[in-house]
A = this chain, B = another copy of it.
């Protein structure tokens, strides 16, 4: 007997049709109504009625091109706003975006996630959102939704963090529902690497790519997987927890309690620790000089040192790249992606670092698995987390299933209040 799969109950027809038409306009627009008829096989009159509903709700707009006499339809990207929140180990970034995930306003402030309680992060994020919404003069009804990326595993359906080992007080903390209450809109929560993968998929280095891996190398190390165009979360939402893959023979104690985890050897926090040690032991004149000038001793400084020819800085960075490359090589044999996008603060520090990762992956994976493999840097850089969170919330609120309720609520809003 065959396993029962894809047993989703059918949608009511109205939802199905308006949702289908909106999805096509959002993904492929600008396009003419006749293109929608051709692509869907729906009757011309059905397309026409539903396009009118979407136009009336303000979710779709017309575009006229000089070279064409036909009206073309596209997403009305200014019909509302969404907010993307990127919670990092050392930063908190908030962006107000349009319905195509283009940033309108943004703020980025320092954060010490391992010591700041979640209530305080919630307050600070809320204040930043208020500030940006005020600056852009966005009213509550135009705030369609929000999403937050956090550096730890997330129960996506329940919208809570699950056992994040280095975020005291965050296990199960209802950040999403608290924001939803405060701002009166839907709020989603996901792992930061998943969110960043979505950003690269829609607006970054992985456009038109259905299957790829995003690797975040920041204070910690994580990965997001896009499979057949969608984030793959696995059994417990723990997909991509590559920072805690054990390196055979490594004994460094990790903050998770195990020994020899990849991020304990090669992550941003590990690099900082090793750089400080080299500084104390007087092994790098570059670090000594810059540190005396007040520069923070971090991956960016190491990259500058390596570029300036400082041997210690170069060795520290290359050791990190080699360890990460070795783990990625194993994952490439297993998962055979066509593209790996590398982002996060450490990865953005310098080109040479990425080149070393790439070299190890090509050398240590099978020839077949790497024959067309591209390893490239995040195109969104520091904005990846915010844009990705905006993409996540847009995918949810503008989905097939939700667009009908959005159309209905917009109609209500548009009706005169009696």
Chain A residues near B (Cβ < 8 Å): 1-7, 9-10, 13, 26-28, 39-41, 100, 153, 162-163, 201-203, 206-211, 223, 227-229, 232-242, 244-249, 256, 326-327, 329-331, 333-338, 364, 366-369, 371-373
Contact = CB atoms under 8 A, between A and B. Distances in A.
Given A227-B228, A227-B232, A235-B337, 20 more contacts: A1-B100, A2-B27, A3-B208, A5-B27, A7-B28, A9-B39, A223-B334, A227-B227, A235-B372, A236-B372, A237-B336, A238-B366, A239-B334, A241-B334, A246-B329, A248-B249, A256-B366, A330-B330, A331-B331, A335-B335
13 contacts: A2-B27, A3-B209, A4-B28, A5-B229, A10-B41, A153-B368, A227-B232, A234-B337, A235-B369, A236-B371, A239-B334, A246-B364, A256-B366
Contacts of A235: 211, 336-338, 369, 372-373
Given A40-B10, A248-B247, A248-B326, A368 B4 contact: no
B244 A366 contact: yes
Contacts of A10: 39-41
Nearest to A10: B41
Contact of A3 (B229, B244, B329): B229
A262 to B, nearest CB: 9
Contacts of A329: 246
Contacts of A369: 234-236, 238, 241
A59 B26 CA distance: 40
A244 to B, nearest CB: 5
B330 A245 contact: yes
A84 to B, nearest CB: 16
A10 B203 CA distance: 27
Contacts of A249: 248-249
B335 A234 contact: yes
Chain A at the B interface: SS class: loop
Contacts of A371: 236
A26 B6 CA distance: 13
A236 B370 CA distance: 9
A3 B249 CA distance: 42
A338 B238 CA distance: 11
Nearest to A331: B334
Contacts of A153: 368
Contacts of A333: 238, 241-242, 244-245
A201 B100 CA distance: 39
A244 B336 CA distance: 13
A7 B3 CA distance: 26
Contacts of A26: 2
A64 to B, nearest CB: 19
A111 to B, nearest CB: 23
Nearest to A223: B334
